[in-house]
Structure 1
């Protein structure tokens, strides 16, 4: 992710982009254009071609391609991938509709391109250079004069301005939260877009603006941006839409004269002539399609299937390859999320009790073949995760809220409940019943009821059958407390609608994190976003302390301050018991039909399938009917 944090294609799980100097290939190194004169005699703006939040960019100004790619990778052939559910729109930027796979990542270019090998670093792409104001109150992007839309018209600063204003006014609520500290954006000439900031405290704002996809203003004139639709879209990216069957498949074709094909951010990538997504209603059917040779590449997210479903003839014959590729991505938080807008989840003692009877150890041994690690932080697999007792730096952050936070935030290490793996932990059940009794719930006739005699009952909403086998053992554990929990599986489109409207009791949700958390935290946790349908604050957290900590994270002046503030936020969220933490994996599990060449290594923070290529000899060696490939 619906895991909204994950890309449906599985092509790339990219790190957030940085600040370094980069030039288009085949150009001689030269000094960047002169910066605009400072106003009021202050320091001159700084011109760069890369941005970084964690230090200096690793690549020199004249780098010619990403370090992990094969710059001579051949072009050609096709890649067929899986998508789950359906689609009815080519507009991925609005609440309405279900967008087609690849619409955002293949069709549109961004101002800067993230390095999947560096944390929080991005390099010049649509923008040739970036100008940073010395006072931190603004920046400007100078667009690459070669940048073109697929209809041949130039990408202009007016497109940048129109995109920003349109997404913030009419796009998903995320954009309003993410770009909330931008006060104004204007075009100063055909290729210069200037952003002015409301303050100088948001140090990551230049980086997140660099991630912005740019849309064609002229194509959208006369169209209603708020409406989903299947009109053929216009982009500037490496692929254009070739054909589609609504809800069933979509084919993207590589743009042969793509304006950015020789940029250092593109060389050696986008090697497939065609990318086709085949849609399936559920992951079980999609797996069978892969085994039959209808799908070329698969990222496996189900531990049981990885352990048991890949012993078929093509694997034994070496026609299908499998690999676990290690990564260094922060894994964030996945868990059963409770909707605080529902009265039964508003008491923290109830939420803690529900977590006590979730038996991860039993599930890991019996369902996951021991392949997962329990998640214990909202910033797991990173230095931002809170561990042990609060450090001196964390206590300095938290001390401003002493008396308003539970004392254990300051004095105790947060630990997720651990069991003996029997799925019948009596001690945890007794503790859970005690907490529920304190919160006003009692067991009568084997049912947990409140003082009005109303039963404790709720629904666990799911978007596919994969999580049913996790939900059912948990439901059985809840039944032993007298709680009636019901599984409810709906299709992807209905799930999206219900989640955008906060129409759920409990669901599985992923809260992804980068190595440089910032503005996106408002969308996850802020009181304002708890009221805004379509936001990522699906839990409904509305706490002034959390609001203040989020703003402290965004305004962190240096790396150590960011670490301390993220850990402080992590502790407050954990002690709030808002989710029942699940698990994470530190590798990508991938399988593919042996028709590809690939780089010698994978980048540290992504699975970069777009740097693979079709090997003609391997492709010819596969049987025409792959179902007979064993």
Structure 2
């Protein structure tokens, strides 16, 4: 998998070289578009390389989801929506391949055309494009969808809309976006927004919808049945308009995709062992090695698959909310990082089988390098040297932890940092000069037993330092409501990142979105240096500049000490019914939205 990824990375570099030499003709209709260079697949490609165009249709995939839901609209802030719905019922002008860092191919749009500097982009709709009710997808639907999502939709859509100068139908079936900002990625982002049916929402408050309306889209799967908080059944539309679109060939072959919901991980796993669920992911290698020996596995009716990937590690751990004055001080955050003895916690959780996440873009060429910043990375960081935290420029590594629970070295650093920040132990309690105890709450979602177990070990260590960490669990609706409002001190954090980071980084870490309700900037980072690195990344003229800007951003975020990292998942561990299959060829992104359940099929042969 690693070899495959680096081959594609070199191909990307070749594409950039062509572009820089002026040989890339952008201003003519194309079947696809790449962030840099040209798409790898030709205009007459049959299917995506990781899809099977001859896959049979039929069967079902049933997954166990921990939590609940109270909405079926994944495009707004309100409500708790299964994360899969955004990918399963939405369809956009173009689709993203998982086998190239950032390349799109036509879906609703049969062609794309851009200005020489991507100051505008045009999409021509496929004349056959239709919604699931049989009505045609029109330019009017496209324009309404962008305007509505950009003003009433989830925050993830609004940053893009602010950069659109105009959106208009320039000829029948063709829509043009003109941008007010120099940003090469905008032409691609325009191809990825979901297109909804305007007529369905006339006279309806889009932002307030929940279970009362099932969004009509043009996707291969439609919501056929559901019971609030219990299950959602999506069924394949036999009249799906795009079955012969190359991007769609060999995808969505299953007749039903069913999401079953459970209160916590224990009944969810029991449902799998009983055969009520036929697909599950396992995130703990210790459980993978100890619990997957039940009769169906022994009989060969359940298959265990370990699948590598070439995407970055992302960041997973406990995030500290810097809106809380306690965590606004980086020395306190550093102390809490040192108090988290990863070796002991990892041994309890995985038997030391999974390495620790070292940075946001670890496991990839985009990750920060050891030691001091050099070359272009150092140049990008230099103007912000006075505001950057220690370790950003000179080099930063996470506390190592210790196999001895007492962890004297790291605990010594933690106590020294707390003292420097004005916290000392008085009568066994860590207090500041005002006598206020150091206490905070860790908010977790109900059913997250593994995270609770890790938190219990961590809380014991903090207690020995005179620090009180209270562990609170909330149901999925309350958890979302509180995290959307940034009403937490510390909480679980998972940020998946890609090989082609772009405008979404502003939503994750940008100044402008730091206090926007429903935003993804959970840590509350407000750093001009972060925004500058994202800006440099978006306007890179070469692959080398792009890599340098991401590595610089990685340094700022990691040395910012906002998250206490857990362990990596560089191999996906999946257990599934033996009759569920996927192509042998794995894309660079591996097990990622767009691969499962998209290219899977059911066959008893």
Normalised by the length of structure 2, the TM-score is 0.92
Contact 1:289 1:295 in 2 (8 A): yes
Contact 1:49 1:124 in 2 (8 A): yes
Are the structure 2 counterparts of residues 576 and 407 from structure 1 closer, same or farther at C-alpha, using a change threshold of 3 Å? closer
C-alpha distance in structure 1 between counterparts of 2:497 and 2:84, whole Å: 22
Query: 1:238, CA displacement in angstroms?
Result: 0.3
C-alpha distance in structure 1 between counterparts of 2:161 and 2:356, whole Å: 33
Question: Do residues 205 (structure 1) and 193 (structure 2) align?
Answer: no
Contact 1:181 1:198 in 2 (8 A): yes
C-alpha distance in structure 2 between counterparts of 1:542 and 1:162, whole Å: 33
SS in 1 for 2:76: coil
Question: Do residues 381 (structure 1) and 369 (structure 2) align?
Answer: no
Contact 2:510 2:530 in 1 (8 A): yes
Bigger Cα displacement from structure 2, 492-501 vs 75-84:
75-84
Contact 2:390 2:559 in 1 (8 A): no
Of 244, 254, 273, the match for 2:236: 254
Partner of 1:564 in structure 2? 548
Normalised by the length of structure 1, the TM-score is 0.88
Can you list the C-alpha shifts for 1:51-80, whole angstroms capped at 9, x where unaligned? Answer: 112433221110011122221111112221
Output the aligned Cα RMSD: 1.9
Question: Do residues 236 (structure 1) and 224 (structure 2) align?
Answer: no
Bigger Cα displacement from structure 2, 43-52 vs 87-96:
43-52
C-alpha distance in structure 2 between counterparts of 1:542 and 1:612, whole Å: 42
Query: 1:520, CA displacement in angstroms?
Result: 0.8
Are the structure 2 counterparts of residues 103 and 546 from structure 1 closer, same or farther at C-alpha, using a change threshold of 3 Å? closer
Contact 1:107 1:235 in 2 (8 A): yes
Question: Do residues 611 (structure 1) and 594 (structure 2) align?
Answer: no
Partner of 1:349 in structure 2? 331
Question: Do residues 398 (structure 1) and 381 (structure 2) align?
Answer: yes
Partner of 1:528 in structure 2? 512
Of 538, 551, 561, the match for 1:554: 538
Bigger Cα displacement from structure 2, 541-550 vs 100-109:
100-109
SS in 2 for 1:584: coil
Can you list the C-alpha shifts for 1:29-65, whole angstroms capped at 9, x where unaligned? Answer: xxxxxxxxxxxxxx98232111112433221110011
Are the structure 2 counterparts of residues 428 and 208 from structure 1 closer, same or farther at C-alpha, using a change threshold of 3 Å? same
Query: 1:408, CA displacement in angstroms?
Result: 4.2
Query: 1:102, CA displacement in angstroms?
Result: 4.3
Contact 2:530 2:556 in 1 (8 A): yes
Query: 1:188, CA displacement in angstroms?
Result: 2.6
Query: 1:82, CA displacement in angstroms?
Result: 1.8
Query: 1:471, CA displacement in angstroms?
Result: 0.8
C-alpha distance in structure 1 between counterparts of 2:578 and 2:258, whole Å: 18
Aligned length: 576
Question: Do residues 518 (structure 1) and 499 (structure 2) align?
Answer: no
Contact 1:158 1:193 in 2 (8 A): no
SS in 2 for 1:583: coil
Are the structure 2 counterparts of residues 474 and 102 from structure 1 closer, same or farther at C-alpha, using a change threshold of 3 Å? closer
C-alpha distance in structure 1 between counterparts of 2:439 and 2:94, whole Å: 48
Of 176, 179, 186, the match for 2:168: 186
Contact 1:349 1:439 in 2 (8 A): yes
Map of 1:420-499 to 2, 5 A cutoff?
420-463=402-445, 464-499=448-483
Partner of 2:523 in structure 1? 539
Query: 1:259, CA displacement in angstroms?
Result: 0.5
C-alpha distance in structure 1 between counterparts of 2:67 and 2:580, whole Å: 27
Can you list the C-alpha shifts for 1:537-580, whole angstroms capped at 9, x where unaligned? Answer: 11111222222222222222221111111111222222221111
Can you list the C-alpha shifts for 1:559-617, whole angstroms capped at 9, x where unaligned? Answer: 11111111112222222211112221111100012222332222221322322211134
Map of 1:246-395 to 2, 5 A cutoff?
246-388=228-370, 389-395=372-378
SS in 1 for 2:561: coil
Stretches of structure 2 lacking an aligned partner (at least 5 in a row): 1-7, 13-24
C-alpha distance in structure 1 between counterparts of 2:86 and 2:412, whole Å: 49
Bigger Cα displacement from structure 2, 464-473 vs 345-354:
464-473
C-alpha distance in structure 1 between counterparts of 2:413 and 2:313, whole Å: 30
SS in 2 for 1:82: strand
| Greater than 6 Å deviation, 4+ residue runs | none
C-alpha distance in structure 2 between counterparts of 1:132 and 1:311, whole Å: 54
Query: 1:406, CA displacement in angstroms?
Result: 4.3
